[in-house]
């Protein structure tokens, strides 16, 4: 291992490394067997969050990757990974919940992540929002989409169609053109929720700059 | 010291935040010379996502995801892969030059002949039974990572007539927050194909582009065994600590 003492960046802060596309062969490198499981599928309340990623012609994208990051049903984050053999000081309410899911799309552009429905997440006190604090965000899942032809990931959020009251009050949703909010709202299905992602076109998903 | 643990004092939620990438750092989503972007880039203006708890936290897989040996791509089969053995190493830092420790680094690449072990790769170059081309490791406390692999070959692709990708290794970094997630490609110094590659050229500022090029590193080369290349990866840095408007 390198033992050079002078840490890079002490003289001048180094510039950020640019993003590049995952390319067409992401399937050899990024999928993990457990990737699509943000929680063990036997967990009570486990849901499938699934959909199809499509391009501007409406065609499914078979070389895309969807990653999810979200709160647990209590609104908490599995922020710090623990050693598998560690004994927890605090009883964790959702022991197998990782908060993170990763699903490559299949030949039909389909992705699916097994997870728990998140709880409401507090809104930071120092950000503007209409309404008296404390303000809670509606349950949501952050999504990153990578693909051949995407030089940088695109970021979106998934909200839940059976939370109309919470969605109505959510500061992020409220800031979006009402005609386009639907692109972020997943439809309840028999085993979970469905959210299709349109990278381009008349139904283009709302994507965010972070 | 930047502490990335959210605080919730007096029921007021004040979060650490991540600064925006300076303009020109990342390639535009619409890059006509790279034809696959045509139908895959959003045409609408991006909305701004405020950095809330969801965005300033992120997954940590420091102890669970990587198995011993995943950092040596030359030792994953019974025999040695063909090609030029190399060490690829460096540090993962944030934009303030601080190490990003215990974060997952994943790589995937073509073999020495420029062929990926992927059903979709039609390049008529040989597969290597002793090379998969996938590696993972976790950065140490100083943000260091290190792989042993084979120098990948350049390969042709269908973007335009006589299109060849410069030799590269795909890198994926989780970082420590959703905002820090990065996928990039590491290139090799002095590649004559740079001038003809629209993916490389999608970063228009030549000085910024150079950040994707590794440096030959004789010091870390293994005598009689492998040349080394060093590539430091710089993720987004923290913004200045926010002022709590209720406390001033
Ligand atoms: Fe490639």
Q: SS3 sequence, A86-119?
A: CCCCCCCCCCCCCCEEEEECCCCCEEEEEECCCC
Q: How far apart are CA A200 and CA A198, in angstroms?
A: 5
Q: Contact B220/B89 with Cβ under 8 angstroms?
A: yes
Q: Which of B124, B173, B182 lies closest to B153 in space, CA to CA?
A: B124
Q: Which of B170, B181, B209, B230 is the catalytic position?
A: B170
Q: What is the pLDDT of residue A5?
A: 39
Calculate mean pLDDT across residues B74-86.
97
Nearest CB partner across the interface for B13, out of A29, A122, A157 = A122
For residue A164, what is the enclosing H or E element? helix A164-169
Centroid of ligand 1 to alpha carbon of A197 (angstroms): 25
Secondary structure letter of residue A81 according to DSSP = -
Which chain A residue is nearest to residue B134, measuring alpha carbons? A29
Calculate mean pLDDT across residues A151-172.
97
CA distances from B156 to A194, B110, B179, B191 (A): 38, 12, 33, 15
- Cβ contacts (< 8 Å) between A137 and chain B: which residues? 52, 54
pLDDT value at B25 more than 90: yes
Beta-strand ranges (E) seen in B10-118 are: 12-14, 47-48, 85-94, 104-108
Q: What is the pLDDT of residue B4?
A: 47
Q: What is the pLDDT of residue A85?
A: 45
Q: What is the pLDDT of residue A3?
A: 37
Test mutation, B25, B56, B59, chain A, max A CBs within 10 A: B59
3-state secondary structure of A123: coil
The CATH architecture assigned to B59-247 reads: Sandwich (2.60)
Check residues A131 and B23 and name the one with the higher pLDDT: B23
Calculate mean pLDDT across residues B152-159.
98
- Cβ contacts (< 8 Å) between B59 and chain A: which residues? 69, 78, 81, 98-100
pLDDT value at A165 more than 70: yes
For residue A167, what is the enclosing H or E element? helix A164-169
Per DSSP, helices labelled H in chain B are: 53-56, 206-209
Q: Contact A172/A190 with Cβ under 8 angstroms?
A: no
Calculate mean pLDDT across residues A93-111.
92
Phi-psi group of A11: left, alpha or beta (phi > 0 → left; psi -120 to 50 → alpha; rest → beta): alpha
pLDDT tens sequence across A58-71:
999 999 999 999 99
Domains of chain A are: 36-75+95-122+136-198 (2.60.130.10)
Q: How many residues does chain B have?
A: 248
Specify whether B60 is catalytic.
no
Q: Contact B188/B214 with Cβ under 8 angstroms?
A: yes
3-state secondary structure of A181: helix
Q: To the nearest whole angstrom, how far is the Cα of A208 from the nearest Cα of chain B? A: 5
Tokens (6 digits) for A162 = 């059976």
Q: Contact A137/A172 with Cβ under 8 angstroms?
A: yes
According to DSSP, the residues that pair with A47 across neighbouring strands are: A115
Calculate mean pLDDT across residues B49-74.
88
Do B37 and A13 lie within an 8 Å CB cutoff?
Answer: no
Check residues A176 and A90 and name the one with the higher pLDDT: A176
Nearest CB partner across the interface for B144, out of A2, A59, A199 = A2
pLDDT tens sequence across B171-219:
999 999 999 999 999 999 999 999 999 999 999 999 999 999 999 999 9
Q: What is the pLDDT of residue A90?
A: 46
3-state secondary structure of B212: helix
Q: What is the pLDDT of residue A130?
A: 79
Specify whether B116 is catalytic.
yes
pLDDT value at A40 more than 80: yes
Tokens (6 digits) for B235 = 């993720």
Beta-strand ranges (E) seen in chain B are: 7-9, 12-14, 47-48, 85-94, 104-108, 134-138, 144-150, 155-157, 163-165, 168-173, 182-187, 215-216, 227-230, 233-235
Q: Taking the model in full, what pTM does it have? A: 0.92
Q: What is the pLDDT of residue A128?
A: 85
**Please, which residues have CB within 8 angstroms of residue B29's CB and are 6 or more apart in sequence?**
A150, A151, A152, A154, B37, B40, B41, B42
Test mutation, A151, A156, A205, chain B, max B CBs within 10 A: A151
pLDDT tens sequence across B157-183:
999 999 999 999 999 999 999 999 999
Query: On the CB side of A63, how many CA atoms lie within 13 Å of its CA?
Result: 19
């Amino acid at each position: 291992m390198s033992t050079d003492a002078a840490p890079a960046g002490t003289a001048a802060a180094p510039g950020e490394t640019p993003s590049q596309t995952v390319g067409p062969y992401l399937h050899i490198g990024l999928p993990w067997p457990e990737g699509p499981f943000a929680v063990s599928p036997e967990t009570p309340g486990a849901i499938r969050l699934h959909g199809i990623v499509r391009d501007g012609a409406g065609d499914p994208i078979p070389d895309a990757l969807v990653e999810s990051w979200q709160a647990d049903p209590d609104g908490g984050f599995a922020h710090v990974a623990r050693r598998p053999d560690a004994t927890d000081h605090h009883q964790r309410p959702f022991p197998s919940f990782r908060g993170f899911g990763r699903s490559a799309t299949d030949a039909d552009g389909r992705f699916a992540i097994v997870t728990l429905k998140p709880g409401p997440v507090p809104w930071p006190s120092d950000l503007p929002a209409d309404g008296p604090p404390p303000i809670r965000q509606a349950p949501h899942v952050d999504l990153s989409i990578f693909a051949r032809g995407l030089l940088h990931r695109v970021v979106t959020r998934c909200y839940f169609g059976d939370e109309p009251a919470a969605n109505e009050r959510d500061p992020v949703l409220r800031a979006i053109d009402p005609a386009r909010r639907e692109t972020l709202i997943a439809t309840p299905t028999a085993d979970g929720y469905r959210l299709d992602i349109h990278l381009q076109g008349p139904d283009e998903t709302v994507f965010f700059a972070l | 010291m930047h502490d990335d643990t959210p605080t919730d004092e007096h029921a007021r939620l004040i979060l650490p935040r991540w600064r925006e990438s300076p303009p020109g750092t990342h390639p535009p989503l619409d890059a006509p010379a790279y034809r696959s972007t045509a139908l895959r880039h959003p045409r609408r203006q991006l909305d701004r996502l405020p950095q809330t708890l969801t965005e300033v936290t992120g997954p940590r897989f420091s102890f669970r995801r990587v198995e011993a040996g995943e950092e040596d791509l030359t030792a994953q089969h019974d025999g040695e892969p063909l090609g030029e053995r190399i060490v690829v190493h460096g540090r993962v830092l944030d934009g303030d030059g601080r190490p990003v420790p215990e974060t997952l680094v994943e790589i995937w690449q073509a073999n020495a002949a420029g062929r990926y072990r992927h059903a979709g790769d039609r390049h008529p170059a040989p597969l290597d039974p002793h090379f998969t081309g996938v590696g993972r490791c976790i950065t140490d406390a100083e943000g260091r990572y290190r792989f042993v692999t084979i120098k990948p070959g350049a390969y042709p692709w269908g973007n335009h007539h006589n299109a060849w990708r410069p030799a590269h290794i795909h890198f994926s970094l989780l970082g420590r927050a959703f905002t820090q997630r990065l996928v990039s490609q590491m290139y090799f110094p002095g590649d004559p194909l740079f001038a003809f590659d629209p993916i490389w050229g999608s970063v228009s500022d030549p000085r910024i582009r150079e950040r994707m090029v590794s440096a030959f590193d004789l010091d870390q080369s293994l005598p009689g065994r492998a040349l080394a290349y060093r590539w430091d990866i710089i993720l987004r840095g923290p913004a200045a600590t926010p002022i709590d408007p209720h406390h001033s």
